[in-house]
Amino acid sequence: MKKKPTNTHSKGSPLAFQKIGVISKADHTQVNRILTDLITWMTTHFKVQVYLPKETSVPKKISKWIHHVPKESIPSKCDLCIVLGGDGTLLSAARLMTKKSIPLFGVNLGYLGFLTEIKLQEMYPSLKETLEGNYNQDERDRLSIKLFRNKKCVFSHYALNDVVISKGNLARIIDIQVDVNKDLLSHLRADGIIFSTPTGSTAYSLAAGGPIVHPNVPSITVTPVNAHTLTNRPIVLPGKSTITAKILSKTQKGDVTLTIDGQVGVDIKTNDTLEISLLNNPPIKIITNKERGYFDVLRTKLQFGKRD
């Protein structure tokens, strides 16, 4: 890792962010050392207030600088959230942004790091510029998901990447009716179906054959998973669309599952209806590397357009 910067913020100059939340990947081998160094640096050079989830433990030598709070309260108490981990850690942080959205500064401790695009060796100089107000920020749409059973909403959630209906290990092909703005789109027989945001277009949807959609294009991509017929293809729908997906298959417990961002799951039953729409209030704010644009990330992370 690069040497930490030693220059401090000029006295009396206001910071862009004063209250900093930090959410870290719990099982990363180096996270305790990185977290300790980061908090020491921030509190020494910038005198910011630091908030950690209650379940995050820190050494006694820095505990005096920490406010431990419930994880879900970080958006209401902070004006910036540093995420130490991979894309999964950032997705879990994004799910906290229900009523108030604060910028997410994602530092990649994982592998691909498509959302957490700031490298560990770039963390200190990038964070210094961010705290001083010199940063770039993307605003990303999410999906609003509501699950109806007997006309009653029994589950609701948000997704930054995608919503997936999938079969269990022993289940047969799923029959799903998909409507867009009350007009029939398709009767689909497949292993599942993915509804993704532009952000999620480079995740599971891409692996299933879906298109890459630029984050600035308000849209919802519908991607079948192993469709029974070749006539069912991925389709990109306008962002103002309201999509409903009804389960027509006869199901037992565990046969069909609804999964949010690959992290939150719930069983769904015959005749359950899923309602999906695009949500921009509040948007998810992600601080990006000033030196790399979206297409740079595509070429670097996905080898987009690479020629042998």
Catalytic residues: 87
| Strand, helix or coil for residue 42 | helix
CA-based nearest residue to 244, from 282, 281, 273: 273
CA dihedral of residues 86, 87, 93, 99 (deg, nearest 10): 160
How many Cβ atoms sit within 10 Å of the Cβ of residue 296? 13
Phi-psi region of 191 (alpha: psi -120 to 50; beta: other; left: phi over 0): alpha
Task: Find, among 207, 167, 164, the residue nearest to 189 by Cα.
Answer: 167
Six token digits for residue 14 = 């206001």
Strand partners, 68: 52
Distance of CA 236 to the CA centre of its chain: 20
